[in-house]
Amino acid sequence: MKTCPFNYSGSKSDYYFFHDINIPIVDLFSGGGGIWSNVKSNDIIVNDKQKDLIELQKFIYESSDEEFDKFFKDVYSIANSINSRESFEKIRYKFNFEKRCKVIFYSLILTSTKNMIRFNSKNNINSTWDGHRNFNKKMQEKIINFRNRIKQKNIQFNSVDFENLKFDKNKYTLIVDPPYLLSMAAYNNYWTINDEKRLYNFLSNKNFCMTNIIKRDEKTNEILISAIKKYKWIFKEIEFKNNKAARKKTNIKEIIIFNSVETSNNLNLNYEI
């Protein structure tokens, strides 16, 4: 698996069926880059409302070797100086209230619990100190491999609300992994019913592939069900063949949705994990 150096809640790095996509795409809710950095396509538009994350990914993509080497050394210095909860919180405060910069941001990611990127409603990092993580060899290899991989592609980076993103809808297919209304993940707390309705209206005249949860325990996403019926979208349940993935999804019905059979055929995905 081509790993990603950003551990983002809801990441689809292990949804391998996306990796064979080889047509121009827009990753509408790109997060940590688990989808767009792994596809075969060389024509990609990336978008996420989390500006700090997009700016960091853009820097990794656009930086010269000299700029990246300096970034690498600066991150190594800061991340490996964080050796207590107090030192972590001091750096976190600096990022949130004094100096939002890429070096501090990635240093915090590296030393956060499970390397997880978490923001609160004020767009401040609220991740906690892991106590066992730093800029080790494995993480160094991840970011270097990520950079080498994406450098080969033609990528446009954006950080706007999805309705404001500009692209040629006749050329690009949207890959849509939105926050899930039925998810328990904290970052989905800022996704509202109105956002859900706006998204489906936005998608109504575009070619897209979307993952979503249609049922969790006794709850169903009635807004999604109504949109599928209204716009005559097609969908298929994702099959979790991997035992580990299957155990995590026992109470969830997760589906992959397309605007049309033609889009489904163009992507040619097998829907299995």
pLDDT at 267: 85
pLDDT at 70: 97
Q: Which of 124-128, 132-136, 220-224 has the lowest mean pLDDT?
A: 132-136
What percentage of the chain reaches a pLDDT higher than 90?
66
Reported as a pLDDT band with limits 50, 70 and 90, residue 243 is very low
**What is the per-residue pLDDT across 19-69, written as a single tens digit (0 to 9) for each?**
889 999 999 999 889 999 999 999 999 999 999 999 999 999 999 999 999
Q: Which of 14-18, 121-125, 228-232, 251-255 has the lowest mean pLDDT?
A: 14-18
Reported as a pLDDT band with limits 50, 70 and 90, residue 273 is very low
CATH 3.40.50.150 range(s) for the chain read 9-49+160-267
Q: Residue 211: which of 29, 59, 81, 83 has the closest Cα?
A: 29
How many contiguous H segments (helices) and E segments (strands) does the chain have?
9, 10
Q: From start to end of the chain, where are the E strands?
A: 7-8, 25-27, 43-47, 116-117, 154-158, 173-176, 208-216, 219-220, 234-237, 252-258
Reported as a pLDDT band with limits 50, 70 and 90, residue 245 is very low
Please state, in angstroms and rounded to a whole number, the distance separating the CA atoms of residues 167 and 165.
7
pLDDT at 247: 42
Buried b (16+ CB within 10 A) or exposed e, 152-164: ebebebbbeebee
pTM, entire model: 0.90
> Which structure tokens are listed for 163?
């309705």
Inter-residue long-range contacts of 136-140, CB under 8 Å, 24+ positions, other chains counted: 139/5, 139/110, 139/115, 140/72
CATH 1.10.1020.10 range(s) for the chain read 58-145
**What is the per-residue pLDDT across 129-179, written as a single tens digit (0 to 9) for each?**
988 777 888 888 999 999 999 999 999 999 999 999 999 999 999 999 999
Please state, in angstroms and rounded to a whole number, the distance separating the CA atoms of residues 250 and 204.
31
Decide: 14 and 273 in contact? Cβ < 8 Å: yes
Q: Residue 2: which of 33, 47, 48 has the closest Cα?
A: 33
Look up the CATH number of domain 9-49+160-267.
Answer: 3.40.50.150
pLDDT at 241: 65
* CATH architecture for the domain at 58-145: Orthogonal Bundle (1.10)
pLDDT at 246: 45
